[in-house]
């Protein structure tokens, strides 16, 4: 499964079937590498600070409250690219998760095995100043700014671990496309209802200047209440802003849905129903 994206700073999950099954030189068997934080340049830190300031301003009033809480608790607002050793001390104390550095896209089984063990793979590189608004492969800004703050929330932390376990099962059963859709429409491009308003929680939107506007304000995409079966049947595109978003009420609700049902049996039962295009009717619009 190729999950690399080519749209404005809205990277897909950091895994892809087209990645080599052999770790690249310098990587361990689990594809992890040292962060080499001390080798980052002043320009690298400037890119992080520029992106951070821009997104934090843009996301004011647009992101779920838990995202801002995570930024504060993990001290991600400190200048410069976060040092994973320092970050992990705070994150692990909160939810038992750690961030591990990887060189780029990793194989699906490696990615989901990390998640199942409460480890989040993050790139050990950052984009150049010329790539502030466009990036083909997820870098440390997308991975850490977009994903890690919500990992400080117990419900999200448990949901991500559950996705890791389900991902490994889906690989064995040939149902990875179903799990990828669940990941895409929640972890990467999810919206939530909070205090009567739609808010952003998906990392692909949180780290994207363009889609942060589009996801909430454009009249083009469909916004529908979260329906697990519908999500598992709905295709997604990686070459444009999303045509459909699914809206949750609480992170705990999605976790309960995933853990309550026989996920494998649910996926198998959907094969006879066929796939759906984003926004294909019938969709019940989110309030």
Per-residue model confidence as pLDDT tens digits over 5-43: 322 333 344 455 444 578 988 899 999 999 999 999 999
Query: Is residue 245 a part of any domain in this protein?
Result: yes
What pLDDT score was predicted for residue 11?
39
Write the pLDDT tens digit of every residue in 199-237: 999 999 999 989 999 999 999 999 999 999 999 999 998
pLDDT tens per residue across span 110-167: 999 999 999 999 999 999 998 887 777 889 999 999 999 999 999 999 999 999 999 9
Q: Which residue has the higher pLDDT, 49 or 274?
A: 49
Q: Is the pLDDT of residue 3 over 50?
A: no
Kindly state whether residue 16 falls inside one of the protein's structural domains. no
Does residue 10 form part of some domain?
no
Coil vs helix vs strand at 126: coil
In a domain, 287, yes or no: no
Q: Output the domain CATH number for residue 146.
A: 1.10.800.10
Least confident among 94-108, 189-203, 272-286: 272-286
Mean pLDDT across 239-262: 86
* Per-residue pLDDT band at 263 (split at 50, 70, 90): confident
Separation of alpha carbons 170 and 152, rounded Å: 26
Q: CA 215 to CA 235: how far, in whole Å? A: 17
Q: Output the pLDDT for position 283.
A: 54
Beta bridge partners of 246: 224
The pLDDT value given to residue 10: 36
| Residue 258, helix vs strand vs coil | helix
In this structure, is residue 157 part of a structural domain?
Answer: yes
178 domain-assigned = yes
Q: 70 lies in which domain range?
A: 37-273
**Percent of the chain residues topping a pLDDT of 90:** 69
d(CA 267, CA 287): 28
In this structure, is residue 106 part of a structural domain? yes
- Asked if the structure places residue 191 within a domain, the reply is yes
pLDDT of residue 237: 86
Give the pLDDT of residue 244: 95
Residue 282 has pLDDT above 80, yes or no: no
Contact 113, 30 (CB under 8 A): yes
Total count of domains within the chain: 1
- How many helices (DSSP H) and strands (DSSP E) are in the chain? 13, 6
**pTM of the predicted structure, to 2 decimals:** 0.88
């Amino acid at each position: 499964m190729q999950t690399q994206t080519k749209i404005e700073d809205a990277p897909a999950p950091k895994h892809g079937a087209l990645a080599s099954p052999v770790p690249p030189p310098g990587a361990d068997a689990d594809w992890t590498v040292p962060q080499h934080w001390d080798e980052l340049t002043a320009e690298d830190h400037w890119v992080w600070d520029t992106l951070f300031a821009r997104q934090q301003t843009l996301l004011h009033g647009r992101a779920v409250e838990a995202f801002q809480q995570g930024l504060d608790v993990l001290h991600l607002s400190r200048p410069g690219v976060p040092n994973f050793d320092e970050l992990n001390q705070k994150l692990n104390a909160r939810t038992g998760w750690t961030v591990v550095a990887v060189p780029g896209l990793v194989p699906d089984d490696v990615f989901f095995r990390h998640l199942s063990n409460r480890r989040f793979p993050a790139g050990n590189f950052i984009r150049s100043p010329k790539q502030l608004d466009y990036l083909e492969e997820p870098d440390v800004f997308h991975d850490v700014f977009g994903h890690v703050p919500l990992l400080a929330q117990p419900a999200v932390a448990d949901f991500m671990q559950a996705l890791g376990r389900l991902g490994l099962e889906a690989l064995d059963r040939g149902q990875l496309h179903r799990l990828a859709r669940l990941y895409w429409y929640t972890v990467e491009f999810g919206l939530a209802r909070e205090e009567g308003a739609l808010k952003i929680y998906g990392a692909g939107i949180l780290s994207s200047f363009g889609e942060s506007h589009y996801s909430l304000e454009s009249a083009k995409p469909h916004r529908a209440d979260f329906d697990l079966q519908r999500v598992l049947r709905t295709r997604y595109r990686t070459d444009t802003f999303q045509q459909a978003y699914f809206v949750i009420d609480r992170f705990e609700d999605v976790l309960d849905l995933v853990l309550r049902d026989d996920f494998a049996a649910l996926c198998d039962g959907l094969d006879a129903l066929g796939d759906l295009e984003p926004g294909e009717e019938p969709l019940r619009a989110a309030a």
